[in-house]
Amino acid sequence: MILTGLVVGAVLGIVMQRGRFCVTGMLRDIFLQKSWRTFAALLIVISVHAIGLAALTSLGVIAPEYSTFAPAAVIIGGFLFGIGIILAGGCASGTWYRSGEGLVGSWVALAMYALSASAMKGGMLDGFNSWMTSWDTGLTTVPAALGISPWIFAIALAVFTGIMVRRFMIKEANSPKPARLNNRPAWKRPLHVYNAAWMIGLLGVIAWPLSAAAGRNGGLGITTPSAHTVDFITTGDAKFMNWGTLLVLGLLVGSFIAAKATGEFRIRVADAKTTVRAIFGGILMGVGAALAGGCTVGNGMVETSLFSFQGWIALLFIALGVGAGTKLWLKPSAAQPAAEAQDTVTYSTDESLDHNVLNENPSGNSIDATPSKSPQNTNAFSGFAAAPSALMVKDPSLSPSKKLKDLGDGYYALDSLGAVCPFPLIEAKDVMKTLQSGDHLVIDFDCTQATEVIPQWAATEGHEVTDFVETGDASWQITVKKG
């Protein structure tokens, strides 16, 4: 029966990868974009979970064991976890599925997350974990504390979520449609985040009885299974190869299959700064999730659907940690002279360092934003002549950012290859402010999530996407005309 964990995990990995589903981004959007649109997707997951688990419990199919609320551990752990996922570039499940997309930085964060969680759950930090969780109020769920049926909370949350989603769907229908990749078959297109959300909620409901049948009384979970993966590797003890362990391994396999099938897999090596952030982010994730009793899945999706004090308070402090991390670290890089830019960009990979700019024809100012037919040519700069930037400046007070490469005729290139999300969007927003209406910004990027967020930003801000194409495996180029 434990093999059902692998199957559920693989389907979960496919859905999360195709839906670009990451709770970090949902919480981050509240602070970075002032938008609750994607957070509504998390509420869909919780609502579907809540109704499904309430039904299974009422029918006697499952018998959940409710976590008790340890205030200090949950509050501190949640906040540390929130900071950690900003540094790591993704939440627990997001780090697993992005590892399946080939992001080496996510591999590093995942390793540190699993190691630190293992240390907290029976390793050298177990004593610290026990001490932090020793102050336990004994409170389990809000319905139990109030003596009210959980069905009331489940239905109320579902109604609230439905109203919220309807509002955003109406707004989306009445707004300019975000651009889509040219000539891409329907099966390769990303899932709408709301569709991915109800699928994940349904998988969570299905997961619980399958997990219980395998001797594990729980649903979806990432932190303990990640720790058990390390425990199995280091000890070889078969008890650690359980339903939960196969769930997270399946998540990795499923995301790899989805990314490979849709041309979104490529090994992307992070630079030193990104790697250091991933190390510290992963450690904070493991320590924080262990203290709080769960991550954005265990607490943010499962415990919240049971309406436990731990789940909702942990989610609140995870969000506050995300807000603090967003304010501290999610900022555009400092503008540098063009000659220095490729050595000082905050996020880079070997691909983004290989510009091969051609300056053979200074007078060739004709711009064609379509990439070369050669699959190896994945850079926006190749084949463009660089015109003196001074010729393009109409207003000295609006001089184009030094982070841009002037391509001539009002076209400017931004190299975001190697930048992890949300930095391609952060940089695009930053440099767009320095351009004039009618100018074109040509952005090369290899962050999968940016295929959704950049077109969404352009549509929302009234900019026109004049070209959007794939330039290779997990590489894209989008041309945005400033409105």
The two tokens of residue 464 are 């026109």
Give one DSSP letter per residue of 49-76, joined into a string: HHHHHHHHHHTTS--PPPPP--HHHHHH
How far is it, in rounded angstroms, from Cα 43 to Cα 427? 29
| Nearest of 309, 253, 294 to residue 139 by alpha carbon | 309
The alpha carbon torsion through 391, 395, 400, 401 (nearest 10 deg) reads 130
**Backbone dihedral angles phi then psi of residue 476, each to the nearest 5 degrees:** -140, 155
For strands 475-481 and 411-416, give the pairing: unpaired
Which residues 6+ apart lie within 8 Å of 208 measured at CB? 53, 56, 62, 64, 218, 219
| Nearest of 399, 407, 389, 474 to residue 436 by alpha carbon | 399
Instruction: Judge whether 295 counts as a catalytic residue.
Output: no
Which residues 6+ apart lie within 8 Å of 445 measured at CB? 416, 417, 419, 424, 454, 475, 476, 477, 478
Of 22, 91, 421, 447, the catalytic one is 421
Exposure of 394 by Cβ count < 10 A (0-12 exposed, 13-18 middle, 19+ buried)? exposed
* Active site residues per annotation: 421
